[in-house]
Amino acid sequence: MSRAVDTATGSRPPATYVADLFSYTRRVSREVMVGGVAFGGSNPIRVQSMITSDTMDTEACVQQTLRLAEVGCEMVRITAPTVKDAANLKNIREELFRRGCHVPLVADIHFKPEAAMEAVKWVEKVRINPGNFADSKKFNVRDYSDAEYTAELERIRERFTPLVKLSRERCVAMRIGTNHGSLSDRIMNRFGDSPLGMVESALEFARIARDLDFHQMIFSMKASNPKVMIAAYRLLVARLDQEGPDWNYPIHLGVTEAGDGEDGRIKSAIGIGSLLSDGIGDTIRVSLTEDSHHEIPVARSLVAPFQRKSTEVSPTPASGVMPSWPLFEYSRRSTEVMSLDGITDSIALGGTEIVRVVVPRRVDEAVAHKRAGLGDFQPDLIHEDLPLVEVDPMSQEEIDAVNSVTGPRLVTVRDGVVLDPITAFRLLAAGIDPRHPILLKDTLAPVSGGEFIDHLLGSATVLGSLLCDGIGDAILLRSEEAPGQSLRLAYNILQAAGVRIFKTDYVACPSCGRTLFNLQETTARIKASTAHLKGVRIAIMGCIVNGPGEMADADFGYVGGAPGKVNLYVGKQAVKFNIPEAEAVEQLIDLIREHNKWVDLA
């Protein structure tokens, strides 16, 4: 990748974000105490969630927190949109103590420094969003001179310093949590709507905190698009390393607005699992548009393999292997195109062709009777019929043999290779010539049995991580034996990774005390009306706190504007305001029609 000097920061772009891309080592971070729970260091990867109740409803908040603690949640976040809400955190905390619950509480702050100053008196941690803590977003286009930019930073320092001082005095931790959708106009104008802008936004606040000798910080870089989220976290870790060894703060992982059901779990596994696989992450939150206690089993299943990895010794490939793909931005690996015999006709694979779905013959035979009704949702190629070249990526002799042939070959990792699949396929991509397409496998040692959720999370982590690296021209999913579920899971992973779109895509936030309508019911209603719109992306957000920029990749947005009222967006632009909730779904459909994205059901 290019090593040119970054003119915006005056620093050279980092070479990498992890000590070894081909061997798991958990990133070393400092320990940060949140109440009685330690994050980072040698502590386990912690799981957390956020309640959805109105913060002024003390009993509801207590009940939800108790339910989360019962299922293993190690930290609970509560929104504090106003000073009044923040003050009620005292009552929530006291009632939880009375009932014997000492789970750390986090106050979630947007827009209101005054609310943060009140909340920090009653909780063990405060979360601030650099994009809106001291800025309001107006989408102003403006060139900032260096002097003007410095003046803005001084204004932020003035607003932020009292909170840092009070947090230090009270031993309260802080998450500096950037959201892709709520970058300030100042950051947007200098760095763009980019992972770099997300990182620089957080570092500006961190430098102020460090100047005040405050170090109880945890960082997050959340986005609804896993590719953006992965790139931002990688860049964050690399930039922290560049700043110095004492910038080793813990990392909180999450894909924001992941959605619900399988889609939400898959998208979370791709983003979170990819980074955990690289040893990044000290605490995670799986954001689902469901009751929050459903998030915890998913989070615990995601971190479980990595809790074990810290004590395992795995084979290490030879040193000196260099990645052949960019590490901080998505670019699909360039290959030559091959023509293969597909199930019904010839299939082009590689190059810029869509990523293909390969299945064992037994899966094809099981779904063959309903193939005509599957539309885009059907297998492309049969595994047993492929002209595959299977190699051990640790064998230079086998790599050289593949590279010596003329023309492209479809290459994969041989079953039984004693490597983690992500490591194995990265090593393969680094070794073989770019002209050869690669067939990805979710596992190198197929096993029978097990729970579907574990298959879903494991396959999404492996395949999604590699696809977001730009590696892979076809996928073979074998962890799940049920034919229909296996095929559906393969397609849903491709959709969530953004490499093959075959259905409507939804960005749906997980709800919280700020939410202005019932997100679960509304999401279900919108899906019932729009699920047939292939390739249309719809954002469903209970409020605008994460920023209209979170809908940058969405075609349309359905956003709570006031109690019982909805605003509709096209991209990041609000076009209809204060629509009664009872009419909002129909008006959303009308808006989709106006922009020629609607298709009537056959």
Residue with tokens 């994009």: 131
* CA gap 234, 230 in Å, rounded: 6
List, in sequence order, the alpha helices (H) in 20-76.
58-70
| pLDDT tens sequence across 95-123 | 999 999 999 999 999 888 999 999 999 99
User: Is pLDDT at 288 greater than 80 in this prediction?
Assistant: yes
**Does 261 or 13 have the greater pLDDT score?**
261
User: Is pLDDT at 453 greater than 60 in this prediction?
Assistant: yes
Whether the Cβ atoms of residue 106 and residue 35 lie closer than 8 Å to each other: no
- 558 half-sphere exposure, CB direction, 13 A CA radius: 31
| pLDDT tens sequence across 516-550 | 677 778 888 888 888 888 888 888 877 666 555 56
* pTM (predicted TM-score): 0.91
- 424 half-sphere exposure, CB direction, 13 A CA radius: 26
User: Is pLDDT at 35 greater than 70 in this prediction?
Assistant: yes
Mean pLDDT of 559-582: 85
User: Is pLDDT at 167 greater than 60 in this prediction?
Assistant: yes
Phi, psi of 472 (to 5 degrees): 115, 130
Confidence label for 504 from pLDDT (cuts 50, 70 and 90): confident
| pLDDT tens sequence across 4-27 | 334 344 456 688 898 888 888 899
* CA gap 505, 486 in Å, rounded: 20
Of 110, 108, 115, the C-alpha closest to 86 is: 115
- pLDDT of 233: 97
Beta strand extents in 200-337 (DSSP E only): 217-222, 252-253, 283-284
Whether the Cβ atoms of residue 255 and residue 227 lie closer than 8 Å to each other: no
- pLDDT of 517: 72
List, in sequence order, the alpha helices (H) in 310-416.
361-367, 396-404
* CA gap 195, 198 in Å, rounded: 5
The residues, ordered by sequence, that sit 6+ positions from 151 with a Cβ below 8 Å of its Cβ are none
User: Is pLDDT at 205 greater than 50 in this prediction?
Assistant: yes
- pLDDT of 515: 64
Helix (H, G, I), strand (E, B) or coil at 85: helix
| Chain centroid, CA 429 distance in Å | 24
Of 226, 329, 225, the C-alpha closest to 271 is: 226
Beta-carbon count within 10 A of 5 CB: 10
Of 346, 326, 328, 276, the C-alpha closest to 304 is: 276
Orientation angle between helical segments 295-309 and 452-468, nearest 10 degrees: 70
Q: Taken in order 5, 9, 10, 13, is the CA torsion positive or negative?
A: negative
Strand partners, 212: none
User: Is pLDDT at 244 greater than 80 in this prediction?
Assistant: yes
Burial of 509 (0-12, 13-18, 19+ CB in 10 A): buried
The residues, ordered by sequence, that sit 6+ positions from 488 with a Cβ below 8 Å of its Cβ are 262, 377
- pLDDT of 449: 78
Whether the Cβ atoms of residue 107 and residue 116 lie closer than 8 Å to each other: yes
* CA gap 273, 229 in Å, rounded: 12
Q: What percent of the chain has pLDDT over 90?
A: 61
DSSP assigned state of 477: -
Burial of 140 (0-12, 13-18, 19+ CB in 10 A): exposed
User: Is pLDDT at 317 greater than 70 in this prediction?
Assistant: no
Beta-carbon count within 10 A of 575 CB: 14
Phi, psi of 289 (to 5 degrees): -85, 65
| pLDDT tens sequence across 338-349 | 999 988 889 999
* CA gap 25, 156 in Å, rounded: 37
Strand partners, 388: 410
Reading phi first (left if > 0) and then psi (alpha if -120 to 50, else beta), residue 511 is in left
- pLDDT of 388: 97
Mean pLDDT of 356-380: 87
The residues, ordered by sequence, that sit 6+ positions from 208 with a Cβ below 8 Å of its Cβ are 156, 157, 160, 161, 164
Burial of 217 (0-12, 13-18, 19+ CB in 10 A): buried
Residue type, 25: T
List, in sequence order, the alpha helices (H) in 405-503.
421-431, 452-468, 483-496
- pLDDT of 549: 58
User: Is pLDDT at 204 greater than 90 in this prediction?
Assistant: yes
